[in-house]
Amino acid sequence: MFKLIFKPLTNWAAHRVLVGRNRSPHEPEKGRFTNAEVNDLVKQAWRHLDDLIPQVIQEPTFGSRMNIRLAGLSLAFLHIVTERGIEREYAIELTGDVCWKIYQWWGVVGRFAQSVLHVDAIRDQARRVRSDGSWPISFPFNPPGYRTRYVPTEQGLGFDVIRCPVAEYLRAHGAADLGVRTWCMLDYPLAEMQGIRLVRTQTLAAGDKQCDFRWFRATK
């Protein structure tokens, strides 16, 4: 089911992002990505994914298992791109842009749900705090795969993520830089799509003890 959904989606995203883009930001003489080349990159990344993800992922929720597979796919894509001689920093940028093409749909769904249900991104979300002080994030970041605690924040919504399976997975594979510059950085434009502003100074992917999310209403 995972491949059935995400294979065509990643192929679409990779083509939208990469075709016609420079293979090197500093050496334009190396040419640009072609359709055939992108097809092969995506194909090889999916093959490499099987080596990076064990048959059974010991995660407690469907959302965390899905996200680890997606993290593995982003890592596989990075490996394939760098094997083609593309410098790692630029390869991470390209991988992050492909990830965003897919990730932004969570923002579209969230914004639609807010408008239909008339949910306030700050006020109504703060009401979800549990008696033990935890704050449950929605699918696919739901507990117990992801664990969070509520932090009272003046004129905003604050919570600390104290367990992120994607951060654990990428750090274990020596790809903390990929985690920080792709998965972590995508939270900022996603917040903007919800009409909120994200302030964060720490991330688990970077080796901190928590991700300190603080959401505030966007100012025009």
Nearest to 163 by CA among 145, 190, 184, 136: 145
User: How much is the pLDDT for 109?
Assistant: 67
The tokens for 103 are 């990730």
**pLDDT value at residue 129:** 87
For the chain, the structural domain boundaries read 2-217
pLDDT of residue 39: 97
Residue 10: its pLDDT value, please? 95
* Residue 60 three-state SS: coil
Contacts of 109 (CB under 8 A, 6+ apart): none
Q: Is the distance from CB of 69 to CB of 2 less than 8 angstroms? A: yes
- pTM equals 0.90
Q: Looking at residue 87, what is its pLDDT?
A: 95
The one-letter amino acid code at 64 reads: S
pLDDT under 70 in the chain at which residues?
Answer: 55-56, 107, 109-118, 220
The pLDDT tens digits of the residues spanning 58-106 come to: 899 999 999 999 999 999 999 999 999 999 999 999 999 999 998 887 7
- Give residue 111's pLDDT: 66
